[in-house]
Amino acid sequence: MKRALTFRDAASRTSMRRAFDHLGYEVIPFKKTEQAVLDNVPKDVRLTVTASPAKGQDATIDLTVALVGHGYNVAPHLSAQQVRDRAHLADVVARCREAGITEVFVVGGDPTDDPTEFRHAHDLLVALHELDHGFTEIGIGGHPEGHPVASEDTLFQALKDKAPLATHIKTQIVFDPAVILRWARELKNRGIDLPVHVGVPGAVHRQKLLRVSGGLGIGESAKFLKKQQNLFWRFFVPGGYSPNKIIKGLAPHMGQPDNNIEGFHVFTFNDLGPTEAWRQQMLSDLA
């Protein structure tokens, strides 16, 4: 049993309660994902579905449409490396509109063997806005700890370019609340005012993370495991990782004028039962 969170002031507790009331889960489009969601996730939990290079963009839309049909609010990832061209994008948008999907998350994605018309997430965002897309929420990714092949200024400029075409930022996984807070403050300093949803792993079994790190080709969700091995190993030391540490570290700063941290986005790696049990325990602690 994870240790309950405690808060020194009512404002932190209120911010945390609001964050957990609006927590989102990311799932991977595997064969058993739809049933796993139905078995474990309440309908009021918002979902996103990754775009997996191994499965392709259409598998992401297939699962999204199926989950929306069950009554969930779901946002598919649209990957610049998997949307083949503008005709494919128009087809994806049409399928989303027909299913009543109002949110998407646009990523650059992992390169595949098949070239696409879009080099980066910005290219895909521009093409998306040239269509009558109908989306009310468009997310883009943030990298608080940087990127192996891009400088800090390059990353912030990319966010600044994409920000007018988006409504919020979801971050990749970072384990240090101080790093996330510095980055969120720098976003504000640079005039990037989008709400920030901080990415945290859920209550994921260590064995699952070990399998994921073996290169299953699941795309954005596992990048941090492949490219930041020093973070990966924190899962395998006693007491090395708990979502609570990140959340409690950021709670006092949510809603402050120097940053736009609004909530949390949980990378479940499809370990939905333990993650939902953790969320319910947190809601009970915060009641």
Q: Is residue 64 part of a domain?
A: yes
State the residue range of the domain holding 107: 10-286
Number of domains in the chain: 1
Q: ∠ CA(104), CA(110), CA(113), 5° rounding?
A: 120
- Torsion on CA atoms 7, 174, 135, 113, rounded to nearest 10: -160
Residue 188 to residue 206: CA distance in whole angstroms: 35
φ, ψ (nearest 5 deg) of residue 200: -135, 145
What pLDDT sits at residue 6? 61
Q: Is residue 281 part of a domain?
A: yes
- Both tokens of residue 179? 């790093």
Buried b (16+ CB within 10 A) or exposed e, 110-144: beeeeebebebbbbbbebbeeeebebeebbbbbbb
pLDDT confidence bin for 148, thresholds 50/70/90: confident
Q: Is residue 3 part of a domain?
A: no
Q: Is residue 4 part of a domain?
A: no
- Torsion on CA atoms 137, 140, 144, 148, rounded to nearest 10: 170
Say yes or no to pLDDT of 3 above 60: no
- Domain containing 98 — which CATH number? 3.20.20.220
Q: Which of 33-42, 78-87, 142-151 is predicted with the least confidence, judged by mean pLDDT?
A: 142-151
What pLDDT sits at residue 176? 85
Q: Is residue 205 part of a domain?
A: yes
Residues 17-56: tens digit of each pLDDT: 877 877 899 999 999 999 999 999 999 999 999 998 888 9
Residues 154-173: tens digit of each pLDDT: 999 999 999 999 999 999 88
Beta carbons of 125 and 153 less than 8 angstroms apart: no
Q: Is residue 270 part of a domain?
A: yes
Q: Is residue 135 part of a domain?
A: yes
What pLDDT sits at residue 19? 79
Residues 193-238: tens digit of each pLDDT: 999 999 988 877 666 655 654 443 333 444 444 544 455 555 544 4
Q: Which of 2-6, 83-87, 247-251, 255-259 is predicted with the least confidence, judged by mean pLDDT?
A: 2-6
DSSP 8-class letter at 234: G
Compute CA 215 distance to the chain's CA centroid, rounded to the nearest angstrom.
Answer: 19
Residue 132 to residue 67: CA distance in whole angstroms: 23
Handedness of CA 276, 278, 279, 283 (dihedral sign): positive
pLDDT confidence bin for 286, thresholds 50/70/90: confident
What pLDDT sits at residue 7? 59
